[in-house]
Structure 1
């Protein structure tokens, strides 16, 4: 039998929730954010978000909790962005390519050869005045844009050789529904056709189009290498993610919690970029082993591609984004000059 003293101690432990072997209940989060995105849970974006969520929970003492919903669980791209605007969700991490309909300014990130090959200088553009101006443009569209996360770069494939700028002439390429991307190909004498992503494999297989552009891991995952002969590792198109939050939720956070979240995203960004580079390298080796003809675009040819593709795409962007777009491009040009990069 327990002594009177033992009973008193046990009762105290029960009240404290601290009996041996009994897990203490974690404090309930004061600020919960449902955050949706498009990629699978196995891909770099989600793995990076898991790391951010863990850091935020730890550094806010459990007061802020991110609940992550990958693979379009909260809807398609448009539904997730609108949900973040309206408050049915607190956040989303969305490719810039899907945000032009909400904010034409962000479509500057669709321009070919916008970011340099040097990853450190690319990050200076993201984190400096250029990136800040792009992010700030979301405020009057009812969204808080916190940061830009890299998510790989696009390369070109075709069933016809892409040995020079002139080799594009007369070819047909699939693009997303974007005037900027259509004009990108017009600059090299190629036709661009907007085809839904789910129909792309068949369109390549049947010869409706000659080629397409996508990150290397997407090309391998979707098995486009089965119906494409030529691959040029061009890195011409940056695939950038925008981290978005609902303004009411964000502004309700204590300032120190907002700071924790911003720093966590910045801290994890290099890891996400490294993960993405790793899966792209793995995909490239897989396609080489499968017999695809692969070449990497040399610097002198990269300059020729850019000179042909960039001007018409830039004009299409200005037509869409207007004065705001011109301001962003002026800042971009100044930053490129500061970084010692030809433009």
Structure 2
């Protein structure tokens, strides 16, 4: 009677042994099914501090998640222009993009004020930090979640914007009628129109060709982007106007984020804050050198004395009231930002 028992025990052992051997395969299969693809796409130039930060963040997400997140990085409008990327981030075709909070002007105008709208709202970089790294930054992230379906998990920056033009612009008089490329956002159009320029809305990726064909006479941008996209090959006059500070919200699709395990949600948020805090430091430290690099390739820096800048500020100040009239929440946000300066 013992032999059959032993036989049964042996067969049971064999079955158990087979199952045990199969378990790693099953576990690997389950693990493979649990990979969360994170497509990061934006329009910033390759080699810029902003794009380098995204490279680093993608590597951190892949490494610290131990492969559970597959972060893929597509810079320089590889997956589409800004308007396309914004919509893709809202519906979840991509998981992350970056844009100024003013990109939500039509849906949440109170958010747009934190992107420097309507010009000369930020006094300096310390003022920017007081706004975005504090209560207001958290508030606008929550508003974005509720109204647009994205969460601002961190804030990077491209810094202050300046004018790059074919012919020198040194004052309000020489600005009149200059065809300047602007984003496809109303407040940018209004800002340059009130100063007397001829704002021309165009996608970010079309600026080089528009300069070369004469569709525009110039544009406004940060020094890194002027270098990275080689716009200086078509226009060489720089006016250091410091008229607009452009922070960039790191926009993550909220539904995708909410679908992650809690530890990966925390990883996305904490690592984004870590990486883009470093990006802001690098960006600020390197801006002066970027201007020197532009001089070295033939750009000419035009004088912009404080008295002239004050004229620009005074002429555009009416936009605070008109933009604030969009909604009571927008007027309140503008007042809170200006109070921190």
2:320 matched to which residue of 1? 314
Alignment of 1:102-181 (within 5 A): 102-108=107-113, 109=115, 110-117=117-124, 119-138=125-144, 139-181=146-188
Deviates more, 1:71-80 or 1:200-209: 200-209
Deviates more, 1:247-256 or 1:129-138: 247-256
Work out whether residues 166 and 188 of structure 1, in 8 Å CA contact, stay in contact via their aligned partners in 2: no
Alignment of 1:254-333 (within 5 A): 254-277=261-284, 280-295=287-302, 297-299=304-306, 301-309=308-316, 311-318=317-324, 321-333=326-338
1:221-254 CA-to-partner distances (Å, cap 9, x unmatched) read: 4444344353112232223222222222222334
TM-score by length of 2: 0.75
Distance 1:91 1:229 in 2: 34
Change (3 A) 1:190 1:249: closer
Distance 1:53 1:195 in 2: 29
Deviant stretches of 4+, over 6 Å: none
Alignment of 1:184-203 (within 5 A): 184-197=191-204, 200-201=207-208
Distance 2:258 2:69 in 1: 13
Change (3 A) 1:81 1:291: closer
Q: Secondary structure at the match of 2:327?
A: helix
Aligned: 1:247 with 2:251: no
Distance 2:205 2:68 in 1: 41
Work out whether residues 33 and 91 of structure 1, in 8 Å CA contact, stay in contact via their aligned partners in 2: no
Q: CA RMSD in A?
A: 3.7
Change (3 A) 1:304 1:28: farther
TM-score by length of 1: 0.74
C-alpha displacement at 1:38, in angstroms?
2.3
Unpaired runs of 5+ residues, structure 1, are 1-14, 16-23, 337-343
Change (3 A) 1:46 1:217: closer
Alignment of 1:5-44 (within 5 A): 28=32, 30=34, 32-39=36-43, 42-44=47-49
Which has the larger share of helix?
2
| Structure whose alpha-carbon radius of gyration is higher | 2
Change (3 A) 1:93 1:192: closer
Work out whether residues 183 and 316 of structure 1, in 8 Å CA contact, stay in contact via their aligned partners in 2: no
1:70 matched to which residue of 2? 75
Aligned: 1:87 with 2:92: yes
C-alpha displacement at 1:150, in angstroms?
0.9
Q: Secondary structure at the match of 1:189?
A: coil
Q: Secondary structure at the match of 1:137?
A: helix
